[in-house]
Amino acid sequence: MKILAIGTDRQLFTPGSQVGKRAVAYSRFFEQYHQVVFALKKHNLGETKLSDNTWAYSTGSTSRFLYIVEAVRLGSKLLKQNPSEWVISAQDPFETGLVACWLAWRYKIPFQIQIHTDFLNPYFARQSLLNRIRVWLARRILPRADGIRVVSERIKQSIIQAGIKTKSEPVVLPIVVNQSDQANDTESLGTNYSQFSKIILVVSRLEPEKNVGLAIKAFDLVIKDYPQAGMVIAGVGSAEGKLKDLTGQLGLKDKVIFVGQQSGLEEFYRLADVLLNPSNYEGYGLVLAEARLAGLPVVSTDVGIAQELVGSEFVCPVDNQDCLAEKTSLVLSGQINQQSVPAGLIENDFDRYVEKYVNLLKQCLSR
């Protein structure tokens, strides 16, 4: 059995990356594992051999508009040699899903769709015209897929409730969550924020859909009760400038600290008093899972696995700053504790995750 994966994560080409390690781990169960990645020519990524039976290919496109065309060309080159015993897996039900769907139709082989995003959430479509096109595309690709893997029960139920007729019921397989065993120097990090009596942590890409501005506005309400509290924001993105301007407008420049992208967040999880997640939508919510495994309380908008992970007492409607402020203050007061992590909600055993994922691919071939 051979696998052709279609994806967008260029970290696959970075030596030692988690993405590359996963690909090699998958390949141990197959004759061959090939992955085509959407990338531009300027990224200077070519064909890379990751192991004896694992290869990565860049589309090397001159424009993003050519990703699909180049991915189809590369996929066809592999499949037409011997189209039997192949399964195609796409990273999403959008552009990569379209490539998988076309190749599967052309060469009469099964394909799987993975879904990591809550694409049927209305906030997803409102974000852009491209996202509205993606929703339209997904509704037409999913009924043709031989297997659908989703990362949360929320996504599975949204597909069912939307009336999308699929060949088989979507299967929930959570993202694997890596826990660090390193003994981090939290005390040393804490000296950087010794001016704060309480620390509210935000870990997020600084992009519009993550709505980090909402967290800052909620924090502005929290400091009325906790004037010595501070907020630490870990992440980078296109909205960073606007967010810094917002802290200035609210008079919070000395209380909101932007620390940029962090390779290891364990120290921050142990240092903080609460993680605040203000996203408009999430497919899963990896940061929420990491925080709870580290013992950090979480307050979140109603996205991803938030309800299942911490319960409704700590979850707010999307875009509701008053609710986020109220629940954050409640956590800081220490008056209520969060439930332990429900069994089966978080997968932190890498080998077990790989085995489950491989089995899903094999099921596609048997259909």
Query: Where does the chain show beta strands of DSSP type E?
Result: 2-7, 32-37, 48-51, 54-58, 86-90, 111-115, 147-150, 171-172, 199-203, 230-234, 256-260, 274-277, 298-301, 315-316
Asked if residue 285 is part of any domain, the answer here is yes
Distance CA 78, CA 85 (A): 12
| pLDDT for position 67 | 96
Q: What are the structure tokens assigned to 342, written together?
A: 């429900």
Low-confidence ranges of the chain (pLDDT < 70): 179-190, 367
3-state SS of the chain: helix, strand, coil percent to 5?
45, 20, 40
| pLDDT for position 183 | 46
- CB distance 175 to 288 below 8 Å: no
Distance CA 249, CA 66 (A): 42
Prediction pTM value: 0.90
| pLDDT for position 345 | 84
Asked if residue 92 is part of any domain, the answer here is yes
Handedness of CA 364, 367, 86, 7 (dihedral sign): negative
SS3 19: helix
**Is there a single domain that holds both residue 36 and residue 92?**
yes
**Is there a single domain that holds both residue 238 and residue 143?**
no
The domain that contains 213 carries what CATH number?
3.40.50.2000
**Is there a single domain that holds both residue 149 and residue 207?**
no
Expressed as residue numbers, the domain containing 203 is 186-333
| pLDDT for position 188 | 57
Asked if residue 341 is part of any domain, the answer here is no
